[in-house]
Chain A
């Protein structure tokens, strides 16, 4: 028995070593960094230990802007993308001809590069010296005034950012939801049909509860994904996100490490831990609500 134990640990060693070096150690390091005040990466020295880094980050207007942007992004894109994905999956599930074609089309954004998609959005929305951008042309056509979506007002920029995020996260959700819709046993629908259940009621009382585990999975991963948004903002607004006021929390962390104002691993660590705290809290709330819907 004891010998077996040694063997078991031996077998686990590669995984443990890998996880330890590349996950556990860095995580602990992040916590240590966040507590070291006035850390200087060049001389590897610091003044003292305390919560100053957190206080600094929480009072930094750039961080607050990033936090606000991220929260807006989360609150808008998660429900909208999940809802739209559900509608599209329901549609996909109820058509027969060309179903596979549509499924492929809807899945395409998933395999497309974020930056390439960003470029397409630029062409759609950006106003340049040569062109107004496709969307502005449309707005003009309907008698509206041009809006600068990329360098203009905050709400316009936020709108583009949300549209972009929704567009990019939807394919995966559609894929998962069409799968889970198709896996609902047809007998439930037949039973509902025999009992004369209206379509609306069938959806609310049967379909939705049946796919709710998958829906919760998508909402939780959606929240986490949206909180970690960064590359999308870069794709649309360039690398100087603070200047355009479109930074995200992860963007702030990156800037603190490597950006123009870089070289502050302590602030970056503190911001990262704050993000972790937020995501952790929301995931816990999500899991708790999920339990009530489980059967």
Chain B
């Protein structure tokens, strides 16, 4: 089912009543999620991504704006009439019920004609359990299951009613690193198999990038960028998005543009045709540095970390934000690095410049 957010806004009164201004949790969100896609809502904590999820689920009513599922306006519908499945961050499995009873719980709430027979309920619950591969654990209580298994029960419970939309709130945050990798593949598989439109919230950019069809980067209740993971990574619209995506993170320098040439410190590092003169922030992805004895950009060399396939060159520079920067280079290119300093040539496609407000300044090739 297609999900459309139209000028969706959520404001809370300030908790301190003396302050009259309202807290804006979600501001004028416009977003169209095509049917059958997996969308990652990404942002630092407090950016409004969970609020957005609650708005979609109906647990919180919006202050303004409209929400559509397909062509149906669901803005004023209570959550149970929207046909959504929601997986909570802590799973919210009922501790006194077994896995099977937990999965059957939503079905038992159905009334009248919609209510399946007892046998049918059990069949559907087992079917959902099979989908998430926990059909051998049905008699266990949540306490007797691992975090990953509980997570699967929670997903099965969300799916058993065959909702049109599946919402996942930080689905992997309670799992250990290994299980996280496994489970995110699992979520992807389940989403593919069911073809259900899925929105999941995360603060982990790697998680969002690895499984989403599209990611939505949010900050302070606003959507900053929407797009395919690779597009957003390659073409960030502003400094925040550039900094938020990517491990290791982007290196940011203070620089300036003078007659279509980019300067960091006193060095002329790159030609930037079309960019206006002025002070800028320069973001360079770690893979944007090419070690080159004749390179234009000189940095102090701290150390070279060898990671097998490639090496990570840790450097410093007076104009760098933060103490150390990190470049990733192929093992051959960095084999001869030694001494106090290192010279780089910059890849124009991996170098972004931003004005004082953080907005991207594009320059022609």
CB-nearest residue of chain B relative to A196? B80
Interface size range of chain A in the complex: 10 to 19
- The answer, yes or no, to whether A55 is at the interface (CB within 8 Å) is no
Bitwise interface map of A from 182 to 200 toward B, beta carbon under 8 Å scored 1, else 0: 0001011011011111100
In angstroms, how far is the closest chain A Cβ from the Cβ of B157?
8
Let me know if A195 and B90 touch, CB within 8 A.
no
Let me know if B84 and A194 touch, CB within 8 A.
yes
In whole angstroms, how far apart are the Cα atoms of A210 and B90 in the complex? Answer: 16
* Contact residue among B58, B96, B109 (Cβ-Cβ distance under 8 Å from A195): B109
Interface size range of chain B in the complex: 20 to 34
- The answer, yes or no, to whether B65 is at the interface (CB within 8 Å) is no
Bitwise interface map of B from 181 to 208 toward A, beta carbon under 8 Å scored 1, else 0: 0000000000000000000000000000
Bitwise interface map of B from 141 to 178 toward A, beta carbon under 8 Å scored 1, else 0: 10100000000000000000100000000000000000
- The answer, yes or no, to whether A209 is at the interface (CB within 8 Å) is yes
A185: B residues at CB distance < 8 A? 90, 92
A159: B residues at CB distance < 8 A? none
In angstroms, how far is the closest chain B Cβ from the Cβ of A102?
22
Let me know if A206 and B94 touch, CB within 8 A.
yes
CB-nearest residue of chain A relative to B79? A194
Contacts between chains A and B (CB distance < 8 A), count: 57
In whole angstroms, how far apart are the Cα atoms of A295 and B142 in the complex? Answer: 9
B90: A residues at CB distance < 8 A? 185, 187
Let me know if A195 and B105 touch, CB within 8 A.
yes
B109: A residues at CB distance < 8 A? 195-198, 201
In whole angstroms, how far apart are the Cα atoms of A198 and B109 in the complex? Answer: 7
- The answer, yes or no, to whether B244 is at the interface (CB within 8 Å) is no
In angstroms, how far is the closest chain B Cβ from the Cβ of A75?
28
In angstroms, how far is the closest chain A Cβ from the Cβ of B51?
13
Let me know if B59 and A190 touch, CB within 8 A.
yes
Given A201-B109, A295-B95, A295-B96: A190 touches B80 (CB 8 Å cut-off):
no
Given A187-B88, A295-B141, A295-B143: A194 touches B94 (CB 8 Å cut-off):
no
- The answer, yes or no, to whether B257 is at the interface (CB within 8 Å) is no
CB-nearest residue of chain B relative to A193? B79
B48: A residues at CB distance < 8 A? none
In whole angstroms, how far apart are the Cα atoms of A197 and B59 in the complex? Answer: 14
| Interface residue ranges of A163-195 to B (CB < 8 Å) | 185, 187-188, 190-191, 193-195
Let me know if B80 and A188 touch, CB within 8 A.
no
In whole angstroms, how far apart are the Cα atoms of A193 and B89 in the complex? Answer: 16
B80: A residues at CB distance < 8 A? 193-197
Let me know if B94 and A188 touch, CB within 8 A.
yes
- The answer, yes or no, to whether B86 is at the interface (CB within 8 Å) is yes
B40: A residues at CB distance < 8 A? none
CB-nearest residue of chain A relative to B167? A194
* Contact residue among B78, B96, B110 (Cβ-Cβ distance under 8 Å from A209): B96
In whole angstroms, how far apart are the Cα atoms of A196 and B107 in the complex? Answer: 10
In whole angstroms, how far apart are the Cα atoms of A190 and B50 in the complex? Answer: 14
B161: A residues at CB distance < 8 A? 195
Let me know if A193 and B59 touch, CB within 8 A.
yes
- The answer, yes or no, to whether B265 is at the interface (CB within 8 Å) is no
- The answer, yes or no, to whether B62 is at the interface (CB within 8 Å) is no
A295: B residues at CB distance < 8 A? 95-96, 141, 143
In angstroms, how far is the closest chain A Cβ from the Cβ of B180?
21
- The answer, yes or no, to whether B27 is at the interface (CB within 8 Å) is no
Given A185-B90, A187-B90, A201-B109: A194 touches B96 (CB 8 Å cut-off):
no
In angstroms, how far is the closest chain B Cβ from the Cβ of A203?
13
- The answer, yes or no, to whether B255 is at the interface (CB within 8 Å) is no
Let me know if A190 and B95 touch, CB within 8 A.
no
- The answer, yes or no, to whether B85 is at the interface (CB within 8 Å) is yes
In angstroms, how far is the closest chain B Cβ from the Cβ of A195?
4
| Interface residue ranges of B71-102 to A (CB < 8 Å) | 78-81, 84-86, 88-90, 92, 94-96
Bitwise interface map of B from 103 to 114 toward A, beta carbon under 8 Å scored 1, else 0: 001101110000
7 residue pairs A–B, Cβ–Cβ below 8 Å: A185-B90, A193-B79, A194-B79, A195-B106, A197-B109, A198-B109, A295-B95
- Residues of B at under 8 Å CB distance from A? 57-59, 78-81, 84-86, 88-90, 92, 94-96, 105-106, 108-110, 141, 143, 161
